[in-house]
Amino acid sequence: MISKHLNDELNQQITYEFYSSHLYLAMSGKLASVDFAGAATWMRTQAEEERIHALKIMDYIIEAGGEVLITGFEDPKVKAKNIQGIFEQGLEHEKFVTSRINFLMGLATEEKNYSAVNFLNWFVNEQVEEELNADTIIRSLKLIGKDGNGLYQIDKELGARIAVSSTTTQA
């Protein structure tokens, strides 16, 4: 059984995951509008991944005997004007999500809800990957600078990202 407090915080995380999905969609649109089709594809794939994260949490709440509550969120804002800035904004957002996952893990541990701890371990590992991916792209963009050939190549590489499967939401 899941406590009301943990249930409420997991519901809040669902909101953050759906917000993340919309933020990455907004970033995808911005990147496409400045002719970075590959990076736009990467961000669109990231948006789908975040949506799947929200569904994973929904499934867990239901399996744990809790109640799912979906709430709205603020409009996503893409603050950056260039590809590097957009990925930097994405990394900052992922750091926020990591702080939320760590908070949830602390709460589950405090409540001795080992099922939730086990479930959240997947997200802890996922956040390491999320931050590493964004940081790696940013470091590559910094190395390339404004070199057109380099930007073309990294955009091409980003566009090769394979979409995640949404056929199952199990962790």
Q: Give residue 165's pLDDT.
A: 63
CA 85/CA 76 separation, integer angstroms: 15
Q: Give residue 162's pLDDT.
A: 83
Q: Give residue 20's pLDDT.
A: 98
Q: How far is CA 62 from CA 30, 55, 66, 79, in A?
A: 36, 11, 5, 36
Q: Give residue 167's pLDDT.
A: 46
- pTM equals 0.92
Q: How far is CA 114 from CA 5, 54, 64, 95, 159, in A?
A: 15, 20, 11, 24, 39
Q: Are 65 and 59 in contact (CB under 8 A)?
A: no
Residue type present at position 93? H
Residues of the chain scoring pLDDT < 70: 165-171
CA 131/CA 76 separation, integer angstroms: 19
Q: Give residue 163's pLDDT.
A: 74
Domains identified in the chain and CATH numbers: 4-158 (1.20.1260.10)
